[in-house]
Homo-oligomer: A and B are copies of this chain.
Amino acid sequence: MKAAVWYGRRDIRVEEFPDPPPPGENEVKIKVSWCGICGTDLEEYLYGPLYIPVDEPNPLTGRKAPMILGHEFVGTVVKVGPGVTGFKVGDVVTPDTLIHCGECYWCKRHQVHHCENLAILGLMTDGGFAEYVNAPTYMCFHLPAGVSPEVAVLAEPASVAVRANRLARTSFGDSVAVIGAGTIGLLCLQTAFLSGASRVYVLEVDSSRREVASQMGATKVFDPLAVDPVEAIKEHTGGRGVDVVLEAGGNAKTIAMAPKLACKRGRVVLLTLHNEPVPINFFPLVCDEIELIGSFSHIYDEDFAAAVTLLGDGRINAEPLITGRIGLDDIVEKGLEELIANKAENLKILVSPEDANLG
């Protein structure tokens, strides 16, 4: 089959790759329709290996590079392995891509996304940038009737935003600030309103992204390079700050800014993986009883399931987030390199191994 295979930093090759073996016990073989390029894929391309095992095979999957990336995908079941129930050939599914060991402290408490041996399909074993992929059925979700596979690809980033609002305890009537209007930030904006927020402010340096945020209903958008973001938020909240801050900017400056936007008793959710120390003066955070809450993406079943439901009935509007549809052959030039060259203009680029999908 054809696949996009990661060999090393800035070395992803579209080439012939062995088909996955016949699906094993409780596995299905999926023919991929669409697979989204995630920020993590881009990071593996630019700075990897970050999560991809290179020297030793991953203990759960037994796989190491070269590796097929892709962990946001939708496809059709074409073969079922022994023991499979609940899935049949022809079902359209999206997997949450979490591989858990089932044996550790967290797995036994049904918090599989904290599995001590956690592996991701598309990073620690072969993923969705290919014609076919095998997946265990425990990670597969049926698409609701009427939702297109392209929209459903957004289930994974949408579940990140669902989870962030859950951990923030975003409540009816709350004011919210979202830092960064990339795919995750824009989904945070939508899910904050769906959580009952009365006002959602968006801080974003890029004007085209601010425009998308406005179109999606942001109460007000700010360019943090043009105005003092703390002053701007205070001005719109009676001097107090917002109830909830969702930090999807992902750099030292935005992380340090986040708690300053919150009101007393405010909840600040950090969604991004910034791997450098950020100096924080906790004095005002203690005085104002602010909470800094880490949110590690998407992998709770209920978040992913909620995201699929919300995309399915259109409450999450994913269409404006899809800024590109390309074939697998073009993943490097029109996908990864395009995201590097024109970061601001692009949100989610979808890749399809099926020529028929590209019209």
A106 engages B264 (CB within 8 Å): yes
> Quick check: is A294 within 8 A (CB to CB) of the other chain?
yes
| Binary per-residue interface labels of chain A (278-321) against chain B in the complex, 1 for a CB within 8 Å, 0 otherwise | 11111101111111111110000000000000000000000000
Residue from B105, B167, B276 in contact with A238 in the complex, judged by beta carbons closer than 8 Å: B105
Chain B nearest Cβ from A61, distance in angstroms: 19
Given A114-B265, A240-B105, the answer on whether A277 and B279 have CB atoms closer than 8 Å is yes
Chain A binding surface, main DSSP class = mixed
A282 contacts B278, C-beta separation under 8 Å: yes
Q: Is A9 an interface residue (CB 8 A)?
A: no
Contacts of A279 in B (CB 8 A): 277-280
A274 vs B278: C-alpha distance in the bound complex, in angstroms? 16
CB distance from A49 to the nearest CB of B (A): 17
Residues of B within 8 A of A114 (CB): 264-265, 288-289
Q: How far is the CB of A242 from chain B (nearest CB, A)?
A: 13
Q: Is A271 an interface residue (CB 8 A)?
A: yes
Contact A276 B281 (CB under 8 A): yes
Residue A40 CB within 8 A of the other chain: no
How many angstroms between the C-alpha atoms of A106 and B238 in the bound complex?
A: 12
Q: In the complex, how many angstroms separate the beta carbon of A273 from the nearest chain B beta carbon?
A: 5
A111 is an interface residue with CB less than 8 A from chain B: yes
Which of B111, B282, B285, B296 sits near A287, CB closer than 8 Å? B296
A288's partner among B238, B289, B294 (CB-CB below 8 A) is B294
| Cα distance A195–B106 in the bound complex, in angstroms | 23
Q: With the chains together, A296 CA to B287 CA distance in Å?
A: 5
A-B contact pairs, 23 of them (CB 8 A): A105-B238, A105-B240, A106-B264, A111-B264, A111-B265, A114-B264, A114-B265, A114-B288, A114-B289, A167-B289, A270-B285, A274-B282, A275-B281, A276-B281, A278-B280, A278-B282, A279-B279, A285-B294, A288-B294, A289-B293, A289-B294, A290-B294, A291-B293
Q: What is A's interface to B at a CB cutoff of 8 Å? A: 105-106, 111, 114, 167, 238, 240, 255, 264-265, 270-283, 285-296
